[in-house]
Amino acid sequence: MTDGTREVVVARKAREAEDISSFELEDIEGRLLPPFSAGSHVDVHVGGFVRQYSLFNDPSENHRYMIAVLREHASRGGSRAMHALAEGARIRVSDPKNHFPLMNEAKHHLLFAGAIGITPILCMAERLASAGASFALHYCTRTRNARPSRNASHVRAWPTGCSTTTARPCRRPGSTCRPSSPLRPRAAIFMSAGRRGS
């Protein structure tokens, strides 16, 4: 490790949706990575840029970090540099940091996400599912092509009782996507993440 970062290898790269690729990062020597909690991100050093990307895999996994990157057409270079990476490429990342922690005290969690903002929310859903907690996940994208496939590598079959709504395309920026199930549970905590204008 140098300057608070460590070298990792892109063990797997996959196209998850339109302009979105996921990256599975592993220690170059196969060692376990520092633990993280739901809502965490890492600073990624690539192509002379430093960008923050949320971890979306199950926090119980300490052999890999998984991030997803949206290719920005007006990018200053960070997302282009990430999408140019191939499997086997080496980059440097920081230890995980968490400025968006999951609140655990509720009897029920409402998780809302828009576009690439699904990444920290997916990690929270993984944590809640592993704990057998009650939650509902509502996800909105501008177009159907922008949402991950149900067969995406990171999507698990969550236990019965967890409600996940189908993504609903937003026809224009600023439009409202209404969830298809009632949102009136008692003692619920609301967590949301999204990208403005997505």
Give per-residue pLDDT as tens, 137-191: 887 776 666 555 544 445 454 444 444 444 455 555 544 454 444 444 444 454 5
Fold of the domain built from segment(s) 5-94: Elongation Factor Tu (Ef-tu); domain 3 (2.40.30)
Percent of the chain scoring above 70 in pLDDT: 70
CA distances, 1 to each of 34, 36, 41, 43, 74 (Å): 12, 17, 18, 14, 33
* pLDDT of 115: 77
CATH 2.40.30.10 spans which residues of the chain? 5-94
Residues of the chain with CATH 3.40.50.80: 108-193
65-70, strands of its sheet edge to edge = 49-54, 41-46, 90-94, 5-17, 20-27, 65-70
Sign of CA dihedral 11, 139, 53, 162: negative
Q: Between 70 and 103, whose confidence is greater?
A: 70
Pick the CATH number of 108-193 from 3.40.50.80, 3.90.25.10, 1.10.230.10, 3.30.830.10: 3.40.50.80
| C-alpha distances out from residue 169 to 122, 139, 141, 144, Å | 19, 9, 5, 6
The larger pLDDT score, comparing residue 181 to residue 116, is at: 116
Q: pTM for the full model?
A: 0.76
At 38 the pLDDT is 92
At residue 168, the pLDDT reads: 53
30: tokens are 């196969």
